[in-house]
Amino acid sequence: MKQASRAALFAVTAIAALAFTGSAFASYAPKLVVSTASGGSGGGPTRIGVVAGASDDPTAEAQFFVPSAYTVDTPAAGTKLGDVTATAAAADLNGTVLPLTGELDAIAPTATTTAEAQACAVTPTQTWDLHLTTNGQTLDIPMFVVTSAAPIAALGYPTTLVVCLPPPDVPVGTPGRAVFGAKLLSATFTVSAITEPTTAGDYRWTSLWTPYTPTTGQPNAAGTVETQSLRHHPAAMELDYARRKVTTTKFKLVHGKRKKFAVVTTKVLYSTKATENGKAPVRVTVVTEVNGKKAKSPSGSFTLTHGKSATIAAVAVIDSDTGSVPTGVPVALSDLFYHDLGTGGCVATPAFGGVPCIDATLGGSIFVARVKVKAF
């Protein structure tokens, strides 16, 4: 197994045990996670995730407010914007949690999406589609790109993404009921049409979530909550090394005579450092290996004899200690990881009129690097 793969496997093993568990005391406590799809560098696609507890009330509407530092493009209809993974609990299948996969596409408005936008009380400037499949069924969930209302735009959120979901817990046969009676539990999607800032900084996304009143199919406006996600941008890992030639003198008996020999070795000093917005991350784990053997610390040294080489491999797990947004399959490095700041990290938005701010997260990043070092 390659050294980088071994280091990556170690990191996955460490974080796999940190799966998300919803609060048993809250009837509605969704989470928002925002990260990057470009490895932390600026100007790349944005990655967005949402998580809801299995016992939460079903979601009627979610609104995501995009900070002005992010660029929202206008892709042509038919453009694939990114991949999507999701999970949903299917009431019609005894509560089985279904993994869903698909893609996010820019689409031209149709009679169906226009009617859904009207029902969602929005006038979109663009229509995107979460095109998902599971168990041979296709699910299309429109995502509307909307110009934010003046009070929100004035706070630095000029664009809003709006999703309205069908009720899953009304009687079978009710018009507009969710397919399979499926209640959304999680989703992760990449959006190439929303590009990250090229300027370093701390950016705060926010969102409003409105649940249904259970079994009625009616939104519960009084149950609306605010959740947020922070990005300390950019996130990065540096794996550096330096070589130093070391010459020592050794003596050896040759034909009974003591002779002096010069022995040349190479001392390798290495260091691995992770940062976000130029600072030490809030939460970080760095695993470094040398030739497949775990090092005691992210920085250290070793010696190579002439003609030999070594591979240094490192994994930095930044703000990823809570777990990942569930995908319905085993945890992988490609998942969207995060650190949960809880209620204390949430700053209520005054323009939302007293809506409680219940949670904030830090979107995580995972970096893998390897370098081969040769002796002098």
pLDDT confidence of residue 42: 64
pLDDT confidence of residue 12: 45
Q: Evaluate if residue 277 carries a pLDDT over 60.
A: yes
Taking only the tens place, the pLDDT of each residue in 309-343 is 999 999 999 999 898 999 999 988 889 999 999 99
pLDDT confidence of residue 136: 83
Query: Model-level pTM?
Result: 0.86
Taking only the tens place, the pLDDT of each residue in 6-41 is 444 444 444 444 443 333 334 899 999 999 987 666
**pLDDT band at 77, cuts 50/70/90?**
very high
Instruction: For residues 62 and 143, give the distance between their C-alpha atoms in angstroms, rounded to a whole number.
Output: 10
The torsion angles phi and psi of 92, rounded to 5 degrees, stand at -75, -10
**pLDDT band at 118, cuts 50/70/90?**
very high
Span 353-361, average pLDDT: 97
Q: Evaluate if residue 250 carries a pLDDT over 50.
A: yes
